[in-house]
Amino acid sequence: MVLPVANDRTPLSWLDDVAQQRRDAGLRRELRPRTPAPATIDLASNDYLGLVRHQEVIDGAMAALRRWGAGATGSRLVTGTTTEHELLERELAEFVGAESGLVFSSGYTANLGVVTALSGKGSLVISDAGSHASLVDACRLSRARVEVAPHGDLDRLRDALATRTEERALVLTDSVFSADGDLAPLREMHRLCREHGAVLIVDEAHAIGVRGDGGRGLVHELGLAGEPDLVVTATLSKSLASQGGVVLGAEKVRAHLIDAARTFIFDTGLAPAAVGAARAALGVLRREPERATAVLDRARDLARITAVGAPESAVVSVVLGDAQRAFDAAQACRERGLNVGCFRPPSVPEGTSRLRLTARATITPDEIDTIETVLTEILAGAPA
């Protein structure tokens, strides 16, 4: 017997209510397919090194596609591992100064996999409040006791580690935070972890290709590469212009993840074309380390134009406050030929909606002139 629903509402009518609430708050999102040759200047993507259309990267993808086919055909443990995957893992590990690496299908699954495999019941996970959503979700899935430390709060981290009763503890942080572009105090965090017998997991998604010698990341820059109680995660979809993720650390960590990381065991392997593209992009970066320097130079240009503080990464965050104001400013930029990021809650806290500008090594002087003209005019009408 089908029971009548009161007031003609269905079990999913609540979605209409939520959608209206989002519209009223200026938080409704929509997909905007880009064209193969966009007419706008890109200040929104994470193609920090400008390698997405580099011919060597495309050729690397095509060569792997022709050799291995379109898909991985199965999980890494069944048929999804190729020699191409293993070469990429060794090359990435050598590049950042780690003992070994393990490639996942995305940076998101890499973070989920490493955190859940190294934690579990009877352990403590402490995460910086500014950590990426993938680390937040990893905490939720970890089955561990979770503490969220205020952003960059070393005192809270010290207290949480010192008072824990659990034998094992993980500390999670981005090295470069994706919304503000600021840097984590990694040296101090690692020192506290070592003092209290914890493992530090650092997501270098926005640091590889940008920070450190030739783009080797902030961990390498600070002399922490290869430390036995530190694990690095990264994505292949930003500076390396491809798709996928990687965990880099001790060989014993890699072996454990192969046995225990559910997002590795039960997920189809990364497509060979993506692996080939990432290997080629890494080859370009190693040959042209000046691209990493150029990213930060262009970020300084964007910071000067928008009158924000000196950037520490490729991310330049222009806080406008109100969500609708940020949305309108982003739309005005788009209409004037600039594609910019627009971050609103829940990506950022209430009252801190912003334009998120990302630097790219290949932005030209003429493009900088256009960017300055457009942003100066639009931001004058949308003050913080």
Domains assigned to the chain: 55-287 (3.40.640.10), 289-380 (3.90.1150.10)
- 4 pLDDT higher than 80: no
Smallest CA-to-CA distance from 241 within 134, 329, 361, 150 is with 361
Query: Cα-atom radius of gyration of the chain, to the nearest Å?
Result: 22
Residues 6+ apart with CB under 8 A from 179: 130, 315, 317, 343, 347, 348, 354, 356
Per-residue pLDDT at 136: 97
Cβ atoms of 218 and 176 closer than 8 Å: yes
Per-residue pLDDT at 368: 97
Q: Angle, to 10 degrees, between the axis of helix 323-335 and the axis of helix 365-380?
A: 140
The string of pLDDT tens digits covering residues 63-122 is 999 999 999 999 999 999 999 999 999 999 999 999 999 999 999 999 999 999 999 999
Per-residue pLDDT at 25: 85
- 301 pLDDT higher than 70: yes
Residue 33, classified by CB atoms within 10 Å of its CB into exposed (0-12), middle (13-18) or buried (19+), is: exposed
Report d(CA 248, CA 319) in Å as an integer.
34
What's the rounded mean pLDDT across residues 283-300?
A: 98
Strand arrangement of the beta sheet that strand 315-321 belongs to:
41-43, 338-343, 353-358, 315-321
Q: Which of 3-17, 34-48, 202-216 has the highest mean pLDDT?
A: 202-216
- Please report how many Cα atoms fall inside a 13 Å half-sphere around the Cα of residue 163, on the Cβ side: 9
- Please report how many Cα atoms fall inside a 13 Å half-sphere around the Cα of residue 247, on the Cβ side: 30
CA distances from 183 to 8, 65, 175, 180, 336 (A): 52, 37, 6, 9, 32
- 53 pLDDT higher than 90: yes
What's the rounded mean pLDDT across residues 257-276?
A: 98
Per-residue pLDDT at 384: 47
- 224 pLDDT higher than 50: yes
Q: Provide the token pair at 57.
A: 């990267």
Angle at 203 between CA 339 and CA 243, to 5 degrees: 55
Beta bridge partners of 317: 356
Per-residue pLDDT band at 32 (split at 50, 70, 90): confident
Q: β-pairing, 123-128 with 315-321?
A: unpaired
Per-residue pLDDT at 14: 95
Quote the pTM value: 0.93
Residue 162 CB neighbours (<10 A): 10
- 175 pLDDT higher than 80: yes
Q: Provide the token pair at 372.
A: 């300055």
Per-residue pLDDT band at 29 (split at 50, 70, 90): confident
**DSSP-derived secondary structure for 14-32:** HHHHHHHHHHHTT------
- Mean pLDDT value across the chain: 95
Residue 336, classified by CB atoms within 10 Å of its CB into exposed (0-12), middle (13-18) or buried (19+), is: middle
Smallest CA-to-CA distance from 98 within 167, 239, 201, 8 is with 201
What's the rounded mean pLDDT across residues 339-347?
A: 91
Length of the chain: 384
Per-residue pLDDT at 346: 86
Per-residue pLDDT band at 6 (split at 50, 70, 90): low
Q: β-pairing, 245-249 with 230-235?
A: antiparallel
First CA to last CA distance, the chain: 57
- 8 pLDDT higher than 90: no
H/E stretch holding 268 reads none
Residue with more model confidence, 87 or 8: 87
Per-residue pLDDT band at 3 (split at 50, 70, 90): low
Q: Provide the token pair at 301.
A: 């240009």
